[in-house]
Amino acid sequence: MIKIAVYGKGGIGKSTTVSNIAAVFASEGLRVMQIGCDPKADSTVLLRHGEKVETVLDLVRTKKDNFTLEDIVKEGFAGVCCVEAGGPSPGLGCAGIIAALETLEKKGAYEKYCPDVVIYDVLGDVVCGGFSMPMRRGYADKVFVITSGENMAIHAAANIAMAVENFKDRGYAQLGGLILNRRNVKNEEEKVAELAEDIHSKVIGTLSRSELVTDAEEQQKTVMEAYPNSPMAEEYRVLAKQIRKLCGI
């Protein structure tokens, strides 16, 4: 089982990218579990045609321990196992993410569903406590960061890379590289390439700014489901192939 954490600034297209990559993996015969670690709890909605998954933290708050894995894990497009950790409880802060991931382990989610790939979709505006949990040993093997050439996105990506670097001596996850999700801003490729050099990493894939992504989202589907034969779908396949190569999947 390979575990991947994908980080990025809010609004950078992280969940859309993760869902399409999960769809590619699943369509290629891999057993995939996607775990949303964003308080908005909407990481997996495109895989489920807009239907949300009740979050692990909501279930913990309302039912204590009186719930099953079937309450947590719901099936999405191509059989992807969809999970939403949920937002932190008042007063718990980032610790809520830790509680959600520990609950999944306690309930035996990985043993029951036997995923080949687990993808954590993590908000990257804040890299502290629970939000850093997926990059810790035992959770993620590789961290990938999605960015554009926009200044705030690059700033967030640099902070995430710094967090991975700070954790590396503890045997935690390694930085797999940057994914450029184009916003067509001035000197975009040059800016992201410079960031990759600064953090001693590389750009492992590039995604175009495409109306097909928006069209698919309006249908509450991934591009892989709505437009599987499109050039945009092929870009996701190429990116997924590169991730598989880097992770040895």
Active site residues: 9, 14, 40, 125
Report the candidate in 65, 133, 120 with the shortest Cα–Cα distance to residue 93. Answer: 133
CA–CA dist 147, 44 (Å, integer) = 20
What phi and psi values does residue 34 have, to the nearest 5 degrees?
A: -110, 125
Report the candidate in 116, 97, 135 with the shortest Cα–Cα distance to residue 29. Answer: 116
* Token pair in block for residue 15: 């969940």
Instruction: Give the residue carrying structure tokens 């589907």.
Output: 221
* Packed helices 231-247 and 14-27: angle between N→C axes, nearest 10 degrees: 80
Q: What are all long-range contacts of 107-113, with beta carbons under 8 Å and residues at least 24 apart? A: 107/68, 107/69, 107/72, 108/69, 109/33, 109/69, 109/72, 109/73, 109/83, 110/1, 110/33, 112/69, 113/31, 113/33, 113/69, 113/73, 113/81
CA–CA dist 173, 140 (Å, integer) = 6
